């Protein structure tokens, strides 16, 4: 399976290279060179603000406020860096988050929070895509192939999210453990941990509707803030575009990220979606590549920061589940 993930990464790199070479590379790099000092602005804003709102979304995915917010920020930064640079289908970073939190809370708390946050961030993204569809519907894109593509992505997301939620309500960790044992893969804790994690998920959804809604809301705001970054990139590249146009570009891109999560960072495919969006909006395909590469540069800076954070952070000794339960957790 690992070789398949590496192959997908190579395919993404090849697609990205092809997009650059076939869309006036001189114009692409000249456009990016015009960014100059403005690239520093894009690194510093609004990316940290997006990270804060996404971390708030994760904070309310816990049954209780048991982890300092600052710790969650650093842990999430490190985990997301691994999600972007490793061929682990956006899952390796989640394991990193649980590992870094093991000295603060037990797996009984950290793993359910990560699963809930993954769910609520997907719901927030789906709502954002729906917003983009509404904006596109009332613009020059009404009836265009891009609008139908956005609708198709939304349907895929609804189906995928529904399956994920159903799996959580059916005790997916315990079922997964049993399935692995049937294939001769030994599990840890003889099922005690998986059952506790499933219980934690059930407890959250059953008893914490307020925290669930807050988590969705904060993640949705984070997705919307991505529109501001898209707008700034467009302006800095010298592309005349409105905020609604930036929102449509961003919404379609997030939908593509969802369906291509198995490719690290949706490399190549995401840039291709930007080209398609720019062409549909009557903009230059080279501008679409420049837009995608500019965002990659900003992304790489924060990935580097996340990897440094991971290198510096060391989890404290593991917190047993018994201690968590004795302190009042479910």
First to last CA, the chain: 36
pLDDT band of residue 184 (cuts 50, 70, 90) is: low
Q: What is the pLDDT of residues 109-119, one digit of tens each?
A: 899 999 999 99
What number of other Cβ atoms are within 10 A of residue 323's Cβ?
A: 12
The domain spans of the chain are 37-326
Higher pLDDT, residue 16 or 226: 226
**Mean per-residue pLDDT over the chain, rounded:** 86
The tens digit of pLDDT for each residue in 126-159 reads 999 999 999 999 886 777 899 999 999 999 999 9
With bands split at pLDDT 50, 70 and 90, how would you rate the model's confidence at 78?
very high
> CA-to-CA distance for 202 and 127, rounded, in angstroms?
24
Among 269, 1, 247, 236, residue whose Cα is nearest residue 131: 247
pLDDT (0 to 100) of residue 1 = 54
Q: Which of 85-94, 126-135, 147-156, 272-281 has the lowest mean pLDDT?
A: 85-94
Peptide bond between residue 328 and the one before it cis (omega within 30 degrees of 0): no
Least confident of 4-8, 38-42, 127-131: 4-8
Question: Whole-model pTM?
Answer: 0.89
Predicted pLDDT at 186: 53
The most confident of the ranges 106-115, 286-295, 313-322 is 286-295
CA–CA gap between residue 300 and residue 84 (Å, rounded)? 9
pLDDT beyond 50 at 329: no
């Amino acid at each position: 399976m690992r070789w398949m993930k590496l192959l997908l990464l190579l395919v993404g790199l090849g697609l990205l290279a092809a997009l650059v070479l076939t869309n006036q590379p001189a114009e692409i790099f000249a456009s990016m060179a015009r960014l100059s000092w403005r690239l520093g602005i894009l690194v510093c804003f609004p990316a940290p603000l997006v990270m804060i709102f996404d971390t708030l979304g994760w904070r309310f995915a816990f049954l209780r406020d048991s982890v300092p917010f600052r710790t969650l920020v650093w842990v999430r930064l490190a985990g997301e860096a691994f999600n972007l640079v490793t061929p682990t289908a956006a899952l390796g970073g989640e394991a990193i988050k649980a590992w870094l939190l093991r000295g603060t809370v037990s797996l009984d708390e950290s793993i359910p929070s990560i699963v809930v946050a993954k769910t609520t961030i997907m719901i927030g993204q789906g709502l954002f895509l729906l917003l983009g569809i509404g904006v596109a519907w009332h613009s020059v894109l009404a009836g265009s192939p891009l609008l139908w593509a956005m609708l198709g992505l939304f349907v895929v997301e609804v189906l995928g999210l529904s399956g994920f939620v159903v799996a959580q309500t059916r005790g997916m960790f315990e079922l997964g453990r049993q399935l692995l044992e049937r294939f001769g893969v030994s599990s840890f804790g003889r099922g005690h941990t998986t059952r506790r994690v499933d219980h934690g998920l059930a407890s959250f959804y059953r008893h914490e509707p307020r925290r669930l809604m807050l988590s969705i809301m904060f993640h949705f705001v984070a997705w919307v803030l991505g529109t501001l970054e898209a707008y700034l990139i467009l302006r800095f590249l010298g592309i005349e575009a409105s905020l609604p146009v930036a929102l449509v570009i961003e919404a379609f891109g997030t939908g593509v990220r969802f369906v291509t999560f198995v490719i690290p960072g949706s490399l190549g495919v995401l840039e291709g979606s930007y080209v398609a969006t720019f062409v549909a909006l009557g903009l230059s395909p080279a501008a679409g590549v420049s837009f995608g590469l500019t965002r990659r540069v900003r992304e790489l800076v924060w990935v580097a920061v996340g990897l440094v954070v991971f290198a510096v952070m060391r989890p404290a000794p593991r917190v047993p589940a018994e201690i968590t339960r004795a302190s009042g957790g479910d």
